[in-house]
Chain A
Amino acid sequence: MELEIKGLYKNIKQAEVLKGINLTLQGGKIYGIQGKNGCGKTMLMRCIAGLVLPTKGTVTINGKILHKDISVPESIGILIENPSFLKEHTGFENLKMLASLQNGLSDEKILELLESVGLSDAKNKKFGKYSLGMKQRLGVAAAIMGSPEIILLDEPINAIDGEGVETIRKVIIGLKSEERIILVACHDKEEMNLLADEIITMSEGQIQMEGSTEYAVS
């Protein structure tokens, strides 16, 4: 599994949001992205997810160029900003609907997934009644459902309490495999140190630093 970003620029109206990003991500690692608000983390994730077209440059996934060979990555799970689901449906129903768009996932697997993110007690509660933390957990569950090859998590532990953070961390680390790239954006440097194998530091739309956790966090 390899994801290669070459000379990626993205302009929104007159503003340069991403300025020449070059990055190669390998399967089997968890990458953390850090940087101040507005530094381009979310935009980079949107580019990788195929939601946004680069102004210049390419995103190549396993040799396939995004928006040329494929319009959306073939196997991806994303949690970008505030997770949004159908309010009038339960957490279980929301996941079931998303699963039905792919090859389908058995009810047992969906229940297991909900349990893994600590939502088994709230599986029959409507999404509209979920707390912020519960919404975030469901967002993580949707992103990892079906074990996609690329998982993009933007602030996955946002609004989640201490015990929940540990649960989510264990889930993310448990997903590490050679066939999978996991990219996590997180403001909490300590958490990032525990979670990521490599840290990418961004500033003003550019990559400032890329390296192992100890080096980057220090």
Chain B
Amino acid sequence: MQFLRIIKHDLEEGIWEKRVYFLLPVLLSLFSCSGLHTQLVNLQKAESIQSLGTIMDYWIYMVQGSAPFEFDLYELFTVPTRWVGLFLFLLISLNGYLNNDLKGWGIQVLTHSKSRLAWWLGKVAWCVLYTIVYFAIYFFIIFLFSFSNGAKISLQPTADIMQILAREDFALYPIQQILCITIIQPFLLALFFGLLQMAIGLYIKPILSFVALLTILLASAYWQTWLLPGNWGMPNRTIPIFDNGFLPSVCIALLLSGILICIITGYFIFKKKDILEETET
């Protein structure tokens, strides 16, 4: 019961009161959708594509990420802005709430909650729900935009569009497999990053934990390696979209393990954390 009360409080304070941050996914999805739509209209005029695509084309265009970068003196590394933005805006939205809830009002909440475990689990539940709402906003905006601009309501990617604007492979494999790569993996990665930022934020200042995660995110876009978790949730680096990519099953296992480790480690850090005002530290 206590845990449920804390969750209710975190939903009210952490989601409803932070609703202004939901403008970030709205802006990013509009930016991504309008960019794709302009290209689709031009391609259709040039008769390179036959239709204005499906909702799934819009989704893939946003979350696909980039192919592995190979260093070349004559070619600059291009940051996959939409993919980075997806995670970056979530980290911005989540940053600071936990630490702010350890001051003033938060101390009241903690003492009234009677348990550090309940308090921490409340924050974990908040992070999960916030991430779900965050992704739901993307889906909703993409749905509204693409549908109102002539896209079909379908989860099936369009082959000719994928060939030009993403990778043709997205349209070649069973839809369940594509949904796993393009929705489940990025969602789990977002959740993992959110929880990791929260756990690290218990040790260091929130802004520093944000910088650390941003560094991991950008490094993941640059290097294709198992060691950089961003690769575990980037569709363009996943088999079968990219032959030398990572197996989705292994990526999901790594992400779930990472999430679990963050929850458990975060609790043990929080259990031993001194809750002091900044002037006392």
Contacts and interface: CB of A to CB of B under 8 A. Distances in A.
B272 interface: yes
Interface in A22-57: 42-43, 46, 49-53
A148 B21 CA distance: 37
Interface in B1-31: 2, 5-6, 8-9, 12-13, 17
Given A100-B8, A101-B9, A78 B107 contact: yes
A106 interface: no
B107 A12 contact: no
B105 A85 contact: yes
B110 A82 contact: no
Contacts of B5: 100-102
A79 to B, nearest CB: 9
A85 B104 contact: yes
B264 to A, nearest CB: 16
B277 A81 contact: yes
A101 B113 contact: yes
Contacts of B2: 101
B108 A98 contact: yes
A98 B280 contact: no
Nearest to A83: B104
B274 interface: yes
A77 B111 contact: yes
A41 to B, nearest CB: 12
Interface in B96-127: 103-105, 107-117
Given A84-B103, A85-B104, A53 B114 contact: no
A71 B115 contact: yes
Contacts of A72: 110-111, 113-116
A3 to B, nearest CB: 15
Contacts of B205: none
Interface in B229-281: 271-277, 280-281
Query: Binding site of B, secondary structure by majority: helix, strand, loop or mixed?
Result: helix
B276 A142 contact: no
Contacts of A73: 111, 114
Contacts, number: 79
Contact of A82 (B13, B104, B116, B281): B104
Contacts of B273: 53
Contacts of B275: 46, 51-52
Contact of A102 (B105, B112, B277, B281): B112
A101 B276 contact: no
Most chain-A Cβ atoms within 10 A of its Cβ — which of B8, B271, B277? B277
A142 B9 CA distance: 16
A25 to B, nearest CB: 18
Given A78-B111, A101-B6, A53 B272 contact: yes
A117 interface: no
A178 interface: no
Nearest to A95: B108
A159 B117 CA distance: 35
Contacts of A78: 107-108, 111
A194 interface: no
Contacts of B8: 100
A161 to B, nearest CB: 23
Nearest to B114: A72
Contacts of A71: 115-117, 271
A214 interface: no
Contacts of A67: 271
A59 to B, nearest CB: 14
A86 B273 CA distance: 24
A49 B111 contact: yes
Among A13, A53, A72, residue most surrounded by chain B Cβ atoms (within 10 Å): A72
A133 B107 CA distance: 20
A50 B12 CA distance: 25
Given A52-B276, A78-B107, A102-B114, 19 more contacts: A46-B275, A46-B276, A51-B107, A51-B110, A51-B111, A71-B117, A72-B114, A74-B114, A84-B107, A84-B108, A85-B105, A85-B108, A88-B17, A98-B108, A100-B5, A101-B6, A101-B9, A101-B109, A142-B108
Interface of A: 12-13, 42-43, 46, 49-53, 67, 71-78, 80-86, 88, 97-98, 100-102, 142
29 contacts: A42-B280, A46-B275, A49-B111, A51-B107, A51-B110, A51-B274, A51-B275, A51-B276, A53-B274, A67-B271, A71-B116, A72-B110, A72-B115, A74-B114, A76-B111, A78-B108, A80-B107, A82-B104, A84-B104, A85-B104, A85-B108, A86-B13, A98-B109, A98-B112, A101-B5, A101-B6, A101-B113, A102-B5, A142-B108
